[in-house]
């Protein structure tokens, strides 16, 4: 497996040979930030196009077809349209918080996105407490949503924001318990180390029954965390017109829209990293030829393939099940997922203590 750390070390050596180290580090940080934002935008475009095509397939439709091959240019046209639309400021709204809210949401999304380990040596934020940082950074987004609903001076926006806040705060518990189950198995909170521990087998296979249960709970809770169907009641069009972003227009609405789709990719990427081996290839013991072919595939291709597979699973769930009521959503979390997650965590402790895992 190729280590991109060799490339980054070579670039750092070349820069420090012609300029002071402080300036070299500054330029490297700027370059990484620009690449991160570009990748963020590209992922958003891919997610929007994939959503439309997958939705069309499940509903026996074709989806975008007219603009570009297979409708591939349609998303770029929508982005241009969003950029040229007027940003309307609502009368009697809290203008500072109203304008600040979408940027808080996008900032939380970008910080969480930076934690994703794409390949060995391509980790942007790789702390020894990376999981703790990821949970903290992703939790900031709910602040932006609550501010958006409250500052809009609209009762429908406020109700949508309260629903979304209650739902996101609740389901963060199940996400944390699911990831903590794997932390118990690996004894580390660093994403790159979690991936390296799966070199001889992905945790979904060798983590025994607790890993499978944690993966299922994570998929359900992750879907609810990003407000996607059947957990999209905070954006119920028939009741709240659009939810917490009802009063937003132009690129302010576009920031909420983009953050929602990239958050779907982030949730899927963490699932691929923690449960499906991240950039690690698929190995089958005894099949050396097959394993050699799998090793020839670059790690970032493995990562994106696994992440997009989980994205497809979550889209399948959205376009299959009907929308739940708010009491059903919270009942599912507090009466079922949290107790099951706690028992599953205890079960994983037993598996690790008695070395029952593969």
DSSP characters for 22-71? HHHHHHHHHHHHHHHHHHHHHHHHHHHHHHHHHHHHHTT---S-SSSGGG
**For position 38, what pLDDT does the model report?**
92
CB-CB contact of 114 with 282 (8 Å) = no
Same domain, 125 and 259: yes
Same domain, 243 and 99: yes
Chain-centroid distance of CA 48 in Å reads 14
CB-CB contact of 170 with 333 (8 Å) = yes
Residue 72 is assigned to a structural domain of this protein: no
CB-CB contact of 233 with 326 (8 Å) = yes
Provide block-wise average pLDDT over 10 residues at a time, the chain (358 residues). 80 88 89 91 92 90 86 87 82 87 92 90 86 91 90 86 88 94 92 89 87 94 87 71 80 87 93 91 83 87 94 91 87 94 94 80
Same domain, 196 and 301: yes
Same domain, 133 and 26: no
Positive or negative torsion for Cα 62, 66, 69, 73? negative
Same domain, 158 and 24: no
Residues across the chain? 358
**For position 218, what pLDDT does the model report?**
95
Residue 293 structure tokens: 């072919």
Distance CA 88, CA 299 (A): 45
Task: Map tokens 């390949």 to a residue.
Answer: 119
Residue 1 is assigned to a structural domain of this protein: no
Q: Is 252 helix (H, G, I), strand (E, B) or coil?
A: helix
**For position 237, what pLDDT does the model report?**
66
Residue 234 is assigned to a structural domain of this protein: yes
Same domain, 209 and 257: yes
Same domain, 37 and 135: no
Cα angle, residue 189 at apex, residues 212 and 118 outer, rounded to 5°: 80
Distance CA 71, CA 301 (A): 24
CB-CB contact of 182 with 211 (8 Å) = yes
Same domain, 27 and 128: no
Distance CA 321, CA 330 (A): 17
CB-CB contact of 179 with 132 (8 Å) = no
Residue 79 is assigned to a structural domain of this protein: no
**For position 195, what pLDDT does the model report?**
92
* Among candidate residues 221, 178, 198, the one with its CA nearest the CA of residue 357: 198
Residue 3 is assigned to a structural domain of this protein: no
Same domain, 112 and 230: yes
Same domain, 175 and 30: no
**For position 240, what pLDDT does the model report?**
61
| Domain end (from 66, 94, 112) | 66
Same domain, 240 and 328: yes
Domain housing 172 = 85-353
Residue 57 is assigned to a structural domain of this protein: yes
What pTM, to 2 d.p., does this model score? 0.92
Residue 77 is assigned to a structural domain of this protein: no
For the chain, the domain total comes to 2
Same domain, 46 and 138: no
Residue 308 is assigned to a structural domain of this protein: yes
């Amino acid at each position: 497996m190729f280590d991109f750390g060799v490339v980054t070390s070579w670039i750092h050596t070349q820069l420090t040979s012609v300029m002071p180290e402080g300036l070299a580090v500054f330029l490297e940080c700027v370059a990484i930030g620009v690449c991160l934002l570009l990748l963020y935008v590209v992922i958003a475009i891919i997610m929007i196009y994939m959503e439309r095509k997958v939705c069309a397939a499940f509903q026996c439709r074709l989806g975008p077809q007219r603009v570009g091959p297979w409708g591939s240019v349609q998303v770029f046209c929508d982005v241009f349209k969003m950029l040229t639309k007027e940003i309307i400021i609502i009368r009697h709204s809290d203008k500072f918080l109203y304008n600040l809210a979408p940027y808080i949401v996008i900032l939380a999304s970008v910080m969480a996105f930076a934690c994703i380990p794409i390949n060995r040596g391509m980790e942007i934020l790789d702390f020894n407490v990376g999981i703790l940082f990821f949970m903290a950074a992703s939790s900031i987004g709910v602040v932006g949503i609550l501010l958006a609903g409250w500052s809009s001076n609209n009762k429908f926006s406020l109700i949508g924001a309260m629903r979304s806040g209650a739902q996101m705060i609740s389901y963060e518990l199940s996400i944390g318990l699911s990831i903590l189950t794997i932390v118990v198995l690996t004894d580390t909170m660093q994403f790159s180390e979690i991936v390296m521990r799966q070199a001889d087998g992905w945790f979904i296979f060798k983590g025994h029954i607790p890993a499978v249960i944690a993966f299922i709970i994570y998929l359900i809770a992750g879907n609810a965390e990003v407000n996607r169907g059947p957990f999209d009641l905070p954006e119920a069009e028939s009741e709240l017109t659009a939810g917490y972003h009802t009063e937003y227009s132009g690129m302010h609405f576009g920031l909420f829209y983009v953050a929602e789709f990239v958050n779907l990719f982030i949730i899927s990427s963490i699932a691929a990293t923690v449960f499906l081996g991240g950039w690690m290839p698929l190995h089958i013991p005894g099949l050396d030829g097959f394993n050699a072919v799998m090793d020839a595939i670059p790690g970032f291709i493995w990562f994106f393939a696994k992440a997009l597979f989980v994205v497809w699973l979550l889209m399948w769930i959205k376009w299959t099940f009907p929308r739940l009521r708010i009491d059903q959503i919270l009942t599912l979390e507090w009466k079922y997922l949290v107790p099951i997650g706690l028992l599953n965590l205890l079960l994983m402790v037993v598996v690790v203590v008695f070395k029952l895992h593969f």
